[in-house]
A = this chain, B = another copy of it.
Amino acid sequence: MPLIRIDLNEGRTDEELKAIMDTVQDCSVETLGVPERDRYQIVTEHKPGRMILLDTGLGFERSDKAIVIQVFTSPRATINKTKFYEMLSQKLEANCGLARKDLLVSVMTNTDVDWSFGFGETQYLSGQLPKDEES
């Protein structure tokens, strides 16, 4: 936790995809306070025309390099979310050449009992993992 879905157009190399995934994880660790091995990422590549991403009238056009990052997580404080967005934008540009206009992030919130990380156990309830504070 969090579980992060990354959707983007096909055309990037395996190395480019890995760099994106690594960068997203770095940002999660730094701004959301998750452990290094708290990493659950799924990338889905799409053929042309399967993603349409506009701008809600903000005044820019996205390129075909645009990325959607959808985060499913237990509650996170506003300050952590805003830092997460900022760092994603900075580091994805610096590490992966992603234009800052080409990043859409959306977060969905659940809670401790909504996660089982293996063995059918509920590790936040059993005490195997510390309860995640809304830090």
**Chain A contact residues, CB within 8 Å of chain B:** 1, 3, 7, 14, 17-18, 21, 25, 34-46, 49-58, 60, 62, 68, 70, 72, 78, 81-82, 85-90, 100-110, 113-123, 125, 128-129
Contacts and interface: CB of A to CB of B under 8 A. Distances in A.
The dominant DSSP class at the A interface is: mixed
B7 A35 contact: no
Contacts of A17: 49-50
A13 to B, nearest CB: 10
Given A72-B108, A109-B114, A58 B123 contact: yes
A45 B46 CA distance: 9
Give the 8 A-B CB pairs with smallest separation, nearest first. A89-B120, A85-B116, A107-B114, A86-B120, A105-B116, A39-B54, A37-B54, A43-B50
